[in-house]
Amino acid sequence: MRKMLNCLFLWGGVLLTACSTSGQNKSQESKDTVDFTKDIHSFSEPESTVVSHLSLELKVDFEEQKLKGVAKLLVDRKKGNKLMLDTRLLTIQEVTDGQEKLTYTLHEAVPFLGSPLEIDLKEGTKEVWVYYETSPEAPAIQWLSPQQTAGKKNPFLFTQSQAILARSWVPIQDSPGVRFTYDAKVEVPEGLVALMSAENPQIKNDSGTYTFVQKKPIPAYLLALAVGDVTFQPLGKNIGVYAEPSMMKEAAYELGEMDQMMLAAEKLYGAYQWERYDVLFLPPSFPFGGMENPMLTFATPTIIAGDRSLTSLIAHELAHSWSGNLVTNATWNDFWLNEGFTVYFELRIMEEVYGKDFSDMLALISKRDLLAELEGMEYGEDTKLKLNLEGRDPDDGMNSIAYDKGFYFLKLCENTVGRTKWDAFLSKYFSEHAFQTITTEEFLTYLDENLLSKVDGAKETIKPDMWVYRNGLPDNCPEVTSFRYDQVKEEVGKFIEGTSASDLQTSDWKYFQEWEYFLSALPDALSKKQMKDLDKAFKFSQTGNNEIRFQWLMHVVKSEYTPAYPTLEKFLMKVGRRKFIAPIYKAMAQQEGTRALGQKIYQKARPNYHYVAVSTIDTYFAEQAKP
Ligand code: BES
Ligand code: ZN
């Protein structure tokens, strides 16, 4: 029997209204009953006192690398007389109720979870003001020197709150099950703009103070701030892009099809709920491809390829506006509910905009990645959809299984009941759970009651429990074929058998994915002659497409192809996207012939990387150092 990991706290008749000074649509956001599923990654005790609104006032100090200010929290009290907040490396100066001091205890720090802040409330206390500053080591914040930006003249900063890093820049109940509205006032140095996961300014002002409102209740992992010399360009009604001035032209071109993605998404699963959708391009050290901060997706500039070929990432982050931001995983153990649905939705958007031919290729890439991940994880416990992250940093346990196995589970549901019923079910799911959290168990019950039980034999065919609670990949995983990839495989075969690269038939290849697949399907270690032949024919060393570049660099490492080492080093010095740099360093650390070079480059590049990238890559070299 599976052990129940979550205890459920239920309150009848409690009205949780996100009481905001900014006034919002109450009917949408209030609930009669609130249930808080125990989150093992938060010290907050929302069943006693829960934060419903945050007013943040911050001053951004680039010299000291600190945010300084006050977080004014509106609380709903259920029982007891304390408020528990999550903090990590914060210096707490004072806590008041807006007038008088409140007593508090900042408990000892627990690894990766931080220090619980326990505040004693007086009778009738409804507001709690926490005066604080962040540490230069705050894991959520990356402070960039002018040299690390495109313009090279101004500093930059961005935050990354998911999964449990928000607590290192705001004292808050940092649990996906706690939603609150927010407003903010942020003071920045002259010439810079502040942007948040909220209604944003579109022009620079002279005062250097920017104000923000987020009227919809969001969990803390969606709090975000960026400060830099950025400008705005509209791309359609209610959509636009922010980027440093020197890259705006390329940025705006790359996102030229975003309006079509929005149309497709709304047609599929209902109206967009967040008013505006803008994308901010960050400097290349951003550790992720994209982050779905509400109203303002943060994106890596490594998707700017000049031909709009990498924008499925934008479809993914846009899809999170429904799966994740509207309907949220209750705990990080239920992460697949955020990411599996989002990959599924992303591929449906891509199919709608670019056709089935294209989305089939993406599905096949997902299968390839899934099989590789399962293999790499030896089909162990973390290959279940429902995770058990007890005692671990969620960032260590959350892996791509949630994305790809999650996608295939949902694809199987679609195939079994047919698209019409499935789409109707999903639209209903999103609208009935809007602005709420959901556990895996609640989802399975909802799926059964609203869909599977109504279609003969569906549950027996799908076997949901097998997908969710067992390791590995069930036998009923859908097969996907792509005639484009079949053609690519043929050419791979020919190359392995000795046909020279320039004689391969590649003239029909229409998408970069075909090239990427070609490289990934080649044997890991190629001979120097083969590498040279490939580069001469296809100019992989000079590609502007970072997905191709990544696959090529993996071969450069595994084949120890020294002529391309300068390109390798240049890439690692500039780009901080973990998906690319972590596998490269891992391969370098594992090979005798590349280990020393890997370590040398890493030492030089490490200060350019964000905390989440560093915490992954450090382990590769540490493992090698062990006897
Ligand atoms: N929400 C994730 C990023 C994330 C996940 C941050 C877990 C911290 C913890 C985001 O939506 C995402 O999945 N990004 C992907 C891109 C996507 C196209 C698969 C990435 O960054 O690679
Ligand atoms: Zn995602």
Rounded CA-CA distance 406/294 in Å is 23
Joined tokens for residue 129: 């003001």
Q: Is the pLDDT of residue 7 over 50?
A: no
pLDDT, residue 351, reads 98
Which of 161, 291, 337 is the best mutation target for the ligand 1 pocket, counting ligand atoms within 8 Å of the beta carbon and taking the most? 291
Does ligand 1 come within 6 angstroms of the Cβ of 317?
Answer: yes
pLDDT, residue 37, reads 77
Is 353 among the domain residues? no
Q: Is the pLDDT of residue 1 over 50?
A: no
- Ligand 1 atom nearest residue 300's Cα: 21
Q: Give the model's confidence band at 111: pLDDT under 50 very low, under 70 low, under 90 confident, else very high.
A: very high
pLDDT, residue 15, reads 29
Rounded CA-CA distance 45/55 in Å is 20
Is 358 among the domain residues? no
Is 63 among the domain residues? yes
Q: Give the model's confidence band at 38: pLDDT under 50 very low, under 70 low, under 90 confident, else very high.
A: confident
Q: 83-94: per-residue pLDDT in tens?
A: 999 999 999 999
- Please say if 317 is a catalytic residue: yes
Count of the separate structural domains present in the chain: 2
Is 400 among the domain residues? no
Does ligand 1 come within 6 angstroms of the Cβ of 85?
Answer: no
Residue 329: enclosing H or E segment and its boundaries? strand 327-329
Contacts of 503 by beta carbon, 8 Å cutoff, 6+ apart: none
Give the active site residue among 29, 244, 317, 442: 317
Rounded CA-CA distance 544/571 in Å is 12
Q: 313-352: per-residue pLDDT in tens?
A: 999 999 999 999 999 999 999 999 999 999 999 999 999 9
Q: 214-246: per-residue pLDDT in tens?
A: 999 999 999 999 999 999 999 999 999 999 999
176-202 b/e (C-beta count within 10 Å ≥ 16 → b) = bbbbbbbbbbbbbeeebbbbbbbbbee
pLDDT, residue 230, reads 98
- Ligand 1 atom nearest residue 342's Cα: 11
Q: 410-428: per-residue pLDDT in tens?
A: 999 999 999 999 999 999 9
13-17, 402-406, 441-445: the lowest-pLDDT one: 13-17
Q: Is the pLDDT of residue 287 over 70?
A: yes
Of 314, 348, 364, which residue sits at a domain end?
314
Q: Name the closest-CA residue to atom 1, ligand 1.
A: 291
Q: What average pLDDT score do residues 396-404 get?
A: 92
Rounded CA-CA distance 184/198 in Å is 9
Ligand 2 centroid vs 317 CA: distance in angstroms?
Answer: 6
Of 259, 287, 314, which residue sits at a domain end?
314
- pTM greater than 0.75 (yes/no): yes
Does ligand 1 come within 6 angstroms of the Cβ of 349?
Answer: no
Q: Name the closest-CA residue to atom 22, ligand 1.
A: 289
Q: Is the pLDDT of residue 64 over 70?
A: yes
Which amino acid, one-letter code, is at 104?
Y
Rounded CA-CA distance 279/272 in Å is 15
Read off the CATH number of the domain in which 128 is found: 2.60.40.1730
Q: Give the model's confidence band at 8: pLDDT under 50 very low, under 70 low, under 90 confident, else very high.
A: very low
- In the chain, % of residues over pLDDT 90: 91
Read off the CATH number of the domain in which 520 is found: 1.25.40.320
Rounded CA-CA distance 401/172 in Å is 29
Is 523 among the domain residues? yes
Of 291, 314, 337, which residue sits at a domain end?
314
Contact between 546 and 307 under an 8 Å Cβ cutoff? The reply is no
CA dist list (Å): 247 to 195, 304, 306, 311: 18, 10, 11, 16
pLDDT, residue 412, reads 98
Q: 346-394: per-residue pLDDT in tens?
A: 999 999 999 998 999 999 999 999 999 999 999 999 999 999 999 999 9
Q: Is the pLDDT of residue 548 over 70?
A: yes
**Between helices 611-625 and 578-590, what is the axis angle to 10°?**
10
Q: Name the closest-CA residue to atom 18, ligand 1.
A: 313
- Please say if 403 is a catalytic residue: yes
Q: Is the pLDDT of residue 23 over 60?
A: no
Is 185 among the domain residues? yes
Q: 471-521: per-residue pLDDT in tens?
A: 999 999 999 999 999 999 999 999 999 999 999 999 999 999 999 999 999
Q: Are strands 91-96 and 8-11 parallel, antiparallel or unpaired?
A: unpaired
Taking the CA atoms of residue 608, residue 609, residue 614 and residue 620 in that order, the dihedral angle to the nearest 10 degrees is: -80
pLDDT, residue 30, reads 40
Give the active site residue among 403, 517, 611, 620: 403
Does ligand 1 come within 6 angstroms of the Cβ of 399?
Answer: no
Domain that holds residue 571: 483-617
Q: Name the closest-CA residue to atom 5, ligand 1.
A: 162
pLDDT, residue 36, reads 65
Rounded CA-CA distance 47/10 in Å is 8
Ligand 2 centroid vs 430 CA: distance in angstroms?
Answer: 17
Is 520 among the domain residues? yes
Joined tokens for residue 564: 């391309």
- Ligand 1 atom nearest residue 400's Cα: 19
pLDDT, residue 22, reads 34
Is 496 among the domain residues? yes
pLDDT, residue 516, reads 96
Listing DSSP states for 579-596 in one string gives: HHHHHHHHHHHH-HHHHH
